[in-house]
Amino acid sequence: MPSSDPVQRFTDIVEAIDRIEQFTDGLDANTFAANDQVTFAVKYALMIISEATAKPGEIASETRPDIPWCEIRRLGNRPRHDCDTVDLARVRLLVERDPPPLKAACQDALLALSRNRSWSG
């Protein structure tokens, strides 16, 4: 059964973003779109991010209300349900623009949760 543990879910998001960064490092838009392995891996990582944002529930919004968690949850719908209509140019724009603030937010949340656990433990 998938874990609802927010620490695990925020960690999953950070790790998926790390992989997206590794997969796309040095690729321009054309090279990205032409590489089936990279685009498949990035779409899969986006689905992981989407699913992981749904698990922590309100903790995500409480920890970082500035992040559009609901929109991120919906992010995986297109690759999951309409994989043949995913616009790779939009995916590329998304992975250039959106992961850094999300990664920072998840790292902040992990730090806050770590402090809360050590305080209560």
> What distances in angstroms separate CA 52 from CA 28, 79, 87, 98, 110, one per listed residue?
28, 15, 23, 16, 14
Sequence-separated (6 or more) residues with CB below 8 Å from residue 36: none
Considering the entire predicted model, what is its pTM? 0.84
Helix, strand, coil in percent for the chain, rounding step 5: 80, 0, 20
- The predicted pLDDT at position 121 comes to 42
pLDDT single digits (tens) 69-108: 888 888 766 655 555 667 888 888 888 888 889 999 999 9
